[in-house]
Amino acid sequence: WEEERYPEGIKWKFLEHKGPIFAPPYEPLPENVKFYYDGKVMKLSTKAEEVATFFAKMLDHEYTTKEIFRKNFFKDWRKEMTSEEKSTITNLSKCDFTHMSQYFKAQTEARKQMSKEEKQKIKEENERLLKEYGYCVMDNHKERIANFKIEPPGLFRGRGNHPKMGMLKRRIMPEDIIINCSKDSKIPAPPPGHKWKEVRHDNKVTWLVSWTENIQGSIKYIMLNPSSRIKGEKDWQKYETARRLKKCVDKIRNQYREDWKSKEMKVRQRAVALYFIDKLALRAGNEKEEGETADTVGCCSLRVEHIKLHPELDGQEYVVEFDFLGKDSIRYYNKVPVEKRVFKNLQLFMENKQPEDDLFDRLNTSILNKHLQDLMEGLTAKVFRTYNASITLQQQLKELTNPDDNIPAKILSYNRANRAVAILCNHQRAPPKTFEKAMMNLQSKIDAKKEQLADARRELKSAKADAKVRRDEKSKKSVESKKKAVQRIEEQLMKLEVQATDREENKQIALGTSKLNYLDPRISVAWCKKWGIPIEKIYNKTQREKFAWAIDMAEEDYEF
């Protein structure tokens, strides 16, 4: 499917699908599950009860202790109440959801305890739904749909310090839904008694279904799976653009270094920002509406308060200390030595400014991207992230792979290379809840193994001594087998220690995002072919489906 088949902007000629699956309707709680207000049992109306269950289900979560979450929730909940309920329930702190919460926990537990047959039945039902709704036909190909289920109602959970956390995400009805498919396809039927908001036939877009969400007023879509032609082609294009950047990146770097000296403030800011984007793989940083989302920034939206300048720090000159919240409120913290000119420019940009002022006051993403477009066709800020991630992987693999290593050791090298990229892109995760415990378990295993090794060595020693005295076949054999035992235990110990290092290094690093979105899969495929590593060791089934194009295309001599 690599060749361009359609004129500009046309995404398909034929599109047929079954429409979305809606969230199951609300099932009222059994009579014996009580809600208490101010210590007294209170029977809620169905609508108010449903919203209450959303809160009850999250009761153990930290969210429900947050002031903003509670305030937003209570406000939206009251909108669903009858006037009597409204006049009674005036204080969230007097609401007791614990019984409801226990009921849901018991239900989860019961689900876990279900018999094999029951579980099988559910599985089969899910498979049936997947078969019916999970696929569409786009231009002679049956393609998997990514998210064919409509998001159920619930409480909005933003990331970080989101001003809208706790608000009610309303139930989506067929009347909210826009269907997109081709005219000559079998148009999906709305559920009985309902109709779609609209049916359109727009082949300049890739989505099948859309609706407007009520928290931010943004549009949500149902689109195809990453394994589909339309997504794969786009992915391939993305890496091809990054490879084109490789060819002219030196020129661009020289250019922005020149621009640091420009007479125009705007040009200088643009050049310093681009330097950060290139060197540190920062995101572009679009401006955001204040108060609508969590306060996070990217490169162009950095504020004075997000950087500190150190003329000298820990023996290095011209160090910039970054500390800000990026996408998903993930903290970016880094101390970077920069060139003198960059440093001087930053001092200039910060002159006479307040901490909350924009660092690059003459710059935004659209100015930056327009400039990049002039430097190379199709170049935007995010291409630098893709380029630097992929080139780093390729370099690291070259550097770290030891030809004499066995397969597990080579895979460890791969993971290390992957990790270098994840660190560059600042892909972090919360340390797993069980991390400390798991680490301690592993450590005690290592300790036990060490003791075992000491024992085995002692035994070997005495067997040797024994053999020296006796000089018979039997004791010789015993020495041999003891030797093997020691070796085996040493290997096991080493394996455990490697595992411990690997896990420790990975504590706060998320490898998945870079693997899925930034690393040209052809680099990995080529590496596997070169070293005889089965591709399954690097990519699981889903990933192999997504990267099928690369697995097909790349040979062992592929160069990014």
Q: Does the protein bind DNA through residue 284 (CB under 7 A)?
A: yes
Q: Give residues 225-254 in contact with DNA (rule: CB under 7 A).
A: 231, 234-235, 238
How far apart, in whole angstroms, are the C-alpha atoms of residue 375 and residue 252? 7
Enumerate the active-site residues.
518
Helix (H, G, I), strand (E, B) or coil at 190: coil
What's the min distance (Å) between Cβ of 365 and DNA? 5
Can you point out the beta strands (E) in 173-315? Answer: 178-180, 198-200, 209-212, 219-222, 307-313
- Sign, CA dihedral 245-246-247-251, equals positive
What's the min distance (Å) between Cβ of 291 and DNA? 13
Q: Does the protein bind DNA through residue 459 (CB under 7 A)?
A: no
Helix (H, G, I), strand (E, B) or coil at 88: helix
Q: Which is nearer to DNA, 211 or 318 (CB)?
A: 211
- Quick one: which of 348, 407, 438, 465 contacts DNA (CB under 7 A)? 438
Q: Which is nearer to DNA, 162 or 419 (CB)?
A: 162
SS3 content of the chain, % helix, strand, coil (to 5): 50, 10, 35
Dihedral Cα 514, 517, 520, 523, nearest 10 deg: 40
Q: Are 139 and 12 in contact (CB under 8 A)?
A: yes
- What kind and span of H or E run contains 258? helix 229-259
Q: Give residues 484-543 in contact with DNA (rule: CB under 7 A).
A: 499, 503, 510, 512-514, 517-518, 540-543
Q: Which is nearer to DNA, 61 or 183 (CB)?
A: 61
- Amino acid symbol at 352: N
Stretch of 35-43, 97-105, 279-287, 333-341 contacting DNA, by CB under 7 A: 279-287
What's the min distance (Å) between Cβ of 180 and DNA? 8
Total residues contacting DNA by CB under 7 A comes to 86
What's the min distance (Å) between Cβ of 255 and DNA? 18
Q: Does the protein bind DNA through residue 257 (CB under 7 A)?
A: no
- Quick one: which of 437, 470, 484, 488 contacts DNA (CB under 7 A)? 437
- Quick one: which of 366, 395, 462, 501 contacts DNA (CB under 7 A)? 366
DSSP at 139: T
Instruction: Write the DSSP string, 516-542.
Output: HHTS-HHHHHHHHHHHT--GGGTS-HH
Q: Does the protein bind DNA through residue 430 (CB under 7 A)?
A: yes
Stretch of 390-398, 400-408, 427-435, 477-485 contacting DNA, by CB under 7 A: 427-435
Phi then psi dihedrals of residue 323, to 5 deg: -155, 100
- Quick one: which of 249, 425, 460, 479 contacts DNA (CB under 7 A)? 425
How far apart, in whole angstroms, are the C-alpha atoms of residue 278 and residue 384? 6
Contact pattern for DNA over residues 90 through 129, marking x by CB under 7 A: ------------------x--------------x------
What's the min distance (Å) between Cβ of 527 and DNA? 18
How far apart, in whole angstroms, are the C-alpha atoms of residue 497 and residue 203? 55
Contact pattern for DNA over residues 316 through 355, marking x by CB under 7 A: ----------xxxxx-------------------------
Helix (H, G, I), strand (E, B) or coil at 127: helix
What's the min distance (Å) between Cβ of 405 and DNA? 19
Q: Does the protein bind DNA through residue 303 (CB under 7 A)?
A: no
Take residue 79 and report the two structure tokens written for it. Answer: 């909108």
Q: Does the protein bind DNA through residue 413 (CB under 7 A)?
A: no
Strand partners of residue 317: 312
Q: Give residues 151-210 in contact with DNA (rule: CB under 7 A).
A: 151-152, 154, 156-160, 162, 169, 202, 204-207, 210
- Quick one: which of 135, 285, 332, 550 contacts DNA (CB under 7 A)? 285
Q: Are 535 and 528 in contact (CB under 8 A)?
A: yes
**Matching residue, tokens 């690599």:** 2
Take residue 233 and report the two structure tokens written for it. Answer: 């082609």
